[in-house]
Amino acid sequence: MIVVCAASGRIGSTVIRRMQKTLAPSDFIAGVRDPGAFTALKDRDIELRRTDYDDPGSLRESFDGAERVLFIPSFADTERRKAQGLNVIDAASACGVKQLVFIGITDTRPDSPLPFAHAYGAIEIALAESSLEWTVLRTSMYTDNLQEQYPLWLERRELVTCAGDGRIAYVSRDDIAASAVGVLTSPVGLHAKRIYVLTGPEALSYDEVGALISELFDTAIEVKHVSVEEFTDALRQIWGLAYEGAAHVVKVTPLFQRVFKEGMMGEVTDHVEQLSGRPPEDVRTWLQRHPRKAV
């Protein structure tokens, strides 16, 4: 039996949809923080279990009888996110879970500009020190984020960045979910104690992203390379839809730009195809399949 944590989230719900196509409902459980408020899977014969990362007791009840657990972190602050990860590892160990699959990010450096990268690094260390058969899926930046960003670029006919010539190996949430399902439905030992880096088939600079958007939507977009300070000043107007709340925009987005500039999301691998059995979707194809959102 497989427990999919954060099953109401974007990746978790995609994993559940994929499992519905290939597994019996009795083979997996949707773990959500508040089952009473989650109605998306109502009447689909899928068991819901309360899975609150801040409540170790709920985790042990959720993981009871599970052979495998998919852990998708929350958006909590760094220390809380780390504590939640440790709670998941402890509960999985206590319940005799055979395999814990952790979806992280490519940058787990102790000196990463992303504060929550430190949490992911600490969780990976805790996994390595545990008795679990673990698998880590480090992900690059989501292609899906572009759907929230490019309508603003088109409207303003400019893309502002402070990432320089840093490249991003965009990967879609669907490819991440397909990779996770591939691991969870393979023999436990096949991917044990392995770290995979999930990326798309190419790494693009913002100049290339701007050129691609211009071509696909027949609208010339100017890519403006600016300082961090200038980029931060423009965030509320340019990137506002990408994150919830202006304060979060101002705090987090320049840090991601620095990570891009430092090349920490520019590596391209074939791990999506290895795990899912299909090649990852490139940015052009993904954008062509997803209609423009209204600004």
Return the percent helix, strand and coil in the chain, to nearest 5.
Answer: 50, 15, 35
* 77 and 106 fall within a common domain: yes
DSSP-assigned beta bridge partners for residue 47: 29
Q: Looking at the domain assignment, is residue 204 inside a domain? A: yes
Confidence (pLDDT) at 278: 96
Mean pLDDT of 247-257: 81
What residues make up the domain containing 122? 2-139
**Over 50: is that where the pLDDT of 18 sits?**
yes
* 58 and 152 fall within a common domain: no
Which pTM does this prediction carry?
0.93
Q: Which band of pLDDT confidence, cut at 50, 70 and 90, is reported for residue 232?
A: confident
Contacts of 96 (CB under 8 A, 6+ apart): none
Q: Which band of pLDDT confidence, cut at 50, 70 and 90, is reported for residue 248?
A: low
* 162 and 99 fall within a common domain: no
As to burial, measured by CB atoms within 10 angstroms (0-12 exposed, 13-18 middle, 19+ buried), residue 38 is middle
Contacts of 36 (CB under 8 A, 6+ apart): none
* 259 and 121 fall within a common domain: no
Contacts of 194 (CB under 8 A, 6+ apart): 135, 136
Closest CA to 95 of 61, 51, 127, 120: 61
* 126 and 225 fall within a common domain: no
As to burial, measured by CB atoms within 10 angstroms (0-12 exposed, 13-18 middle, 19+ buried), residue 73 is buried
Confidence (pLDDT) at 235: 79
Closest CA to 100 of 77, 66, 74, 125: 66
pLDDT 10s digits, 150-186:
988 998 899 999 999 999 999 999 999 999 999 999 9
Q: How far apart are CA 42 and CA 19, in angstroms?
A: 16
Mean pLDDT of 272-295: 88
SS3 141: coil
Domain count, the chain: 2
**Over 60: is that where the pLDDT of 295 sits?**
no
